[in-house]
Amino acid sequence: MRRWNGWGEEDLFTPLSQLVVTYLTDLIGPGEKIKDARLEDVVSQVPISRLPEHQLAATDRRERLLHARGQSLPDWIALRSGQIGTFPDAVAHPESTSAVRELLKFGRLHELILIPYGGGTSVVGHINPLPSDRPVLTIDMSRMKRLKQLDPVSQLATFESGISGPEIEAQLQPEGFTLGHFPQSFEYSTLGGWVATRSSGQQSLHYGRIEKLAAGVEVETPMGKMSVSPVPASAAGPDLRHLILGSEGILGFITEVIVRVKSIPAVDAFYGIFFRDWQSGIDATRFIAQSGVPLSMLRLSDPQESETSLIIGGRPDLVNWADRALRTLKYREERCLLIYGVTGQSSLARSSHRQVRSIARRYGGLYTGGFIGKQWRKNRFSTPYLRNALWEGGYATDTLETAVPWFSVPQTVDKIKLALDEGLKEIGEKVLVFSHLSHVYSDGASIYVTFLFRRTADPEETYERWLTLKHAASQVILFQGGTISHQHGIGSDHAPYLASEKGELGITAIEAARQALDPDRMMNPGKLLPDLNTGSVDLEHPDR
């Protein structure tokens, strides 16, 4: 059974080891264990539904609570404290496109707000109902999970949009295919959610981001059905796929997605290389990316993340042994770890493997074999579970990400980390910050930053600490010319910053698309576009 106020299954919990507790205490101070709100008490707060009766809409209080929040840190603060705020008035679980169409008709008739819901894994507020005089109906797509067609000749597969990552692979792999889209939320997130937020999987260097994988799409909008058929390429005007990709539920319900699949690779392995310092690692990673070596992943951790990951994920004896060995070889405090993935046919994989090792040696890289890569692969989807243990140990943690050109990567990383490191100094609190480059391109890379700080017994104070840090880092990202989101999307958390990136005319164009497909603004208002947010960021005066 999934946790109602955290990540993953309830029976999967590993407490923080004494090594980790000591490490965090030394860096940012001891955590305070604070009692969480009880499920039954929070359920009792759910108000009477305002929704007219409908056979597909359930008004059960517990079900409405389970669909009230996602997985952002503000969501966790709300759930753990029991201060949820707004709940959907009902939850529907359609099992077909015709049922979705019926719910849209019902929504228009009664002037409802409709929220598309996939796996509930959003970390930026995509699925949260916001205060409104209109009743809110959340539509959970998870029962629409069939493989409708597989074309092995064209390597195209048509899925219903509510299917999760494991369900996709379970239906494709017996036929000899894989989608290869593995975001960290893979276990629970859905295909429709990936399209709606322009998701990126961990091995996107080989398989491509979701915009490359999604060849066609069907969307039920308030104004009717929109279909985009799969073709290899087209010059027939603007690509309507990109109107739906990243639309975050404000245009309609994605009901089907036609995806490009690949044959299961003969080799799919991961390896580790240590560099003596961050700049050497960046230079080597950029050279590999621009050389076009066919890999599936390049993930470079900065020194702090390299150390923290080793401590949090390893046994004390293993940590001490690895540290001694690396120091003996003069890989000391500034060392950083590159994990790379080799995916494909055997001969090509062997060639890629040799090329990476050869390039790495030019930059002082120390190849460490496959052990680190195997450990990373084993735990690739379990990292979010660590949030549960950290929270219960008294620590709040969140992530943010961007993408910038290569020339700006070192400076942008430094400035984001500095903004976070100094973000709570006025109140005497320390912040643990670390980062990695998680997706690379010939012209730049994505930057993924994790930050931890001590939470307090006052949920509002914990939220204010988060807001201060999030805003400081977001200002830096925009000032550096980075995107406000490389893979998490906009939701409500990033909506105030979008105009600074898209420009006034760009926002007007997106608004026009919404007006054409949802003139009554019934679809997920307050997300992507800042309907219920005030103002935008002033880059000339970033403190405003």
Rounded CA separation 14/12 (Å): 7
Cα distance between residue 342 and residue 157, in whole Å: 25
Please tell me the predicted confidence (pLDDT) of residue 538: 42
Mean pLDDT across the stretch 332-355? 95
Structure tokens at 178: 């894989």
What CATH number belongs to 147-263? 3.30.465.10
Q: Is 519 exposed, middle or buried (0-12, 13-18, 19+ CB in 10 A)?
A: exposed
Q: Is the pLDDT of residue 222 over 80?
A: yes
Pair of tokens at residue 192: 């429709």
How do the domains of the chain map onto residue ranges?
Answer: 37-140, 147-263, 267-378
Structure-block tokens of residue 234: 């087209």
Three-class secondary structure assignment of 238-249: CCCHHHHCCCCC
pLDDT for 532 equals: 43
Pick one of 3.10.180.10, 3.30.830.10, 3.30.43.10, 3.50.50.60 as the CATH number of 37-140. 3.30.43.10
Q: How confident is the model at residue 531 (pLDDT cuts 50, 70, 90)?
A: low
Q: Which residues, 6 or more positions from 307, have their beta carbon under 8 angstroms from its beta carbon? A: none
pLDDT tens, 411-438?
999 999 999 999 999 999 999 999 999 9
> Is pLDDT above 50 for 540?
no
Residues sharing a CB contact under 8 Å with residue 402, sequence separation 6 or more, in sequence order: 412, 416, 446, 447, 477, 480, 482, 483, 484, 485, 486
pLDDT band at 106 (very low <50, low <70, confident <90, very high): very high
pLDDT tens readout for residues 285-326: 999 999 999 999 999 999 999 988 888 766 666 677 788 888
CA distance 343 to 294: 8
Q: Which two tokens stand for residue 289?
A: 């990316």
**Would you say how long the chain is, in residues?**
544
**HSE-CB for 292 with a 13 A CA cutoff:** 0
Token reading at 254: 């994605």
**Which pLDDT band, with edges at 50, 70 and 90, does 541 fall under?**
very low
Interatomic CA distance for residues 289 and 338, integer angstroms: 13
pLDDT of residue 536: 42
For position 310, what pLDDT does the model report?
80
Give this prediction's pTM.
0.95
Any idea what DSSP says for residue 174? G
**Per-residue H/E/C for 240-296:** CHHHHCCCCCCCCEEEEEEEECEECCCEEEEEEEEECCHHHHHHHHHHHHHHCCCCC
| Residue 534 scores a pLDDT above 70 | no
Question: 136-140 and 90-92: which strand pairing?
Answer: parallel
| 131 and 47 Cβ atoms separated by less than 8 Å | no
Q: What is the pLDDT of residues 358-401, one digit of tens each?
A: 999 999 999 999 999 999 999 999 989 999 999 999 999 999 99
Q: What is the pLDDT of residue 288?
A: 98
What kind of architecture, by CATH, is found in domain 267-378?
A: 2-Layer Sandwich (3.30)
Average pLDDT, the chain: 94
Say what the pLDDT of residue 317 is.
66
